[in-house]
Amino acid sequence: MAAADIDLAVIIPLYNEGAVIQENFRRIRQVFAEDGLACHFVLVDDGSSDATWQEISLLVKEFPEVSALRFARNFGKEAAICAGLERVEARRYLVMDSDLQHPPRCVKEMVALMEREQADIVEGVKEKRGRESLAYRLLANGFYRLMKLLTGLDLERSSDFKLLDRGVVEALRRFEESSLFFRGLVAWVGFKRVAYSFAVDGPGCRRSRFTAGKLIRLALNAILSYTSKPLYLTIISGLIFLLISVLLGIQTLYNYFSGRAVSGFTTVILLLLFTGSMIMISLGFIGVYIARIYDEVKRRPRYVVSETAGM
C-alpha cells in the first residue's frame, strides 16, 4: 500500500469488543460512505480474550477496505494506536474509539476543518462528557488536574479522537520510547493544530474497557513518560523539610540549654515518622524512574503482533 493509495486511514483500537464490533463498525462505515469519505480501516485487536479477532476477520473478508492486526496479548490502547499509525501509509490518519463515543458524523467536518485551516492536527475535544459513572468522573478529573500540575498541558476534555496529517505521524514514528502516551506525544510534537469540539455520543452506560487499575496505570504512565517533574518535587519537599528541621533543631537546642529537655519526646517520634515517610516516597519515585530507564534500555518492542489480515 503506497502513501498515495490511501487518502484517509482510520485506526480503531479494539479490546474485547466482540459482541458489538460488527454493529458498530457497520455504523461507522455507513456514515463515512454517506459523507463521501473514502478511507481505509485498520482494526487493531489489542489482545482481546473474546471473539473480537474472529469478528474482525469476518469484516476483513467482507470489505476490501479493512485490514487488521492482532496483538499477542493486551498491550494497551496507546500501543494499539501506535501500531495502526506505524503499519499503514496514508495521506491522513484518524484515530477513533470503536464504541461510537467518537461520533463518526463529525469526521467529515474535521476533514473540512483541516483543509480550511491548513492544519496538521485536528483534535477532538469533548464538549461534555457522556454519561460516565461518578467514580470514573472523579478519577478522570483528578488525573487531568494532576497532569496539568505536572506537565502544564491541559489535557482536560481532550480525547484520542484525532485527525493527523502524514507529517505528524512521521514525527510520531520517530519516538523510540517503549511506553508512551498518545495524547501527550501529540501535544509535544507541535505543528499547527485546531480543536474540534464534539459531544460524546453512543451507549455511554456501556462498561468501559478501562478498569480502575488500568486507568491508574495509564495515569502513571502518562506522568512518568511525559515528565520528570516528580523528581524535582522530591528535592523541593526535601529542602522544605530541611528548613523545618533546622527550625526544630534550634528550638530543641534552646530547650536543652534552658534545661527544659525530655518533654520533646513526641516531636522526636513525629519527626522520625515524617522523615521515614519522606525518604520512602523519594526512594519510591526514584525507583519508579529507574524502572522506567530499565524498561527503556531493554529496547523491548512496544507490542507484538501475532496475526494480520488484509495487510
- Out of 29, 183, 209, 302, name the contact with ligand UDP by CB under 6 A: 209
Cite the DSSP H helix spans in 39-125. 52-62, 77-87, 106-117
Minimum distance from residue 241 beta carbon to Mg ion (Å): 43
What is the residue type of 181? F
Question: How many degrees, rounded to 5, is the angle at CA 240 between CA 237 and CA 241?
Answer: 85
CA distances 225 to 95, 134, 310, Å, are 21, 28, 33
Q: Specify the residue, 63 or 210, whose C-beta has the smaller distance to ligand UDP.
A: 210
- Out of 101, 151, 225, 234, name the contact with ligand UDP by CB under 6 A: 101
Stretch that binds Mg ion, among 5-13, 71-79, 91-99, 228-236 (CB under 5 A): 91-99
Q: Does 110 bind ligand UDP (CB under 6 A)?
A: no
Q: Does 98 bind Mg ion (CB under 5 A)?
A: no
Minimum distance from residue 80 beta carbon to ligand UDP (Å): 4
Task: Show the 3-state SS of 235-256.
Answer: HHHHHHHHHHHHHHHHHHHHHH
Q: Does 76 bind ligand UDP (CB under 6 A)?
A: yes
| Helices 77-87 and 166-173, packing angle to 10 deg | 120
Instruction: With H, G, I as helix, E, B as strand and everything else as coil, classify residue 157.
Output: coil
Q: Does 104 bind ligand UDP (CB under 6 A)?
A: no
Beta bridge partners of 42: 11, 67
Question: How many degrees, rounded to 5, is the angle at CA 192 between CA 140 and CA 302?
Answer: 55
Q: Does 77 bind ligand UDP (CB under 6 A)?
A: yes
Minimum distance from residue 97 beta carbon to Mg ion (Å): 5
- Rounded Cα–Cα distance for residues 47 and 9 (Å): 21
What is the residue type of 300? R
Q: Specify the residue, 96 or 114, whose C-beta has the smaller distance to ligand UDP.
A: 96
Residue 14's binding partner among Mg ion, ligand UDP, none (Cβ under 5 to 8 angstroms by kind) is ligand UDP
Stretch that binds ligand UDP, among 74-82, 145-153, 238-246, 272-280 (CB under 6 A): 74-82
Q: Which residues bind ligand UDP (CB under 6 A)?
A: 13-15, 17, 46, 74, 76-77, 80, 97-99, 101, 208-210
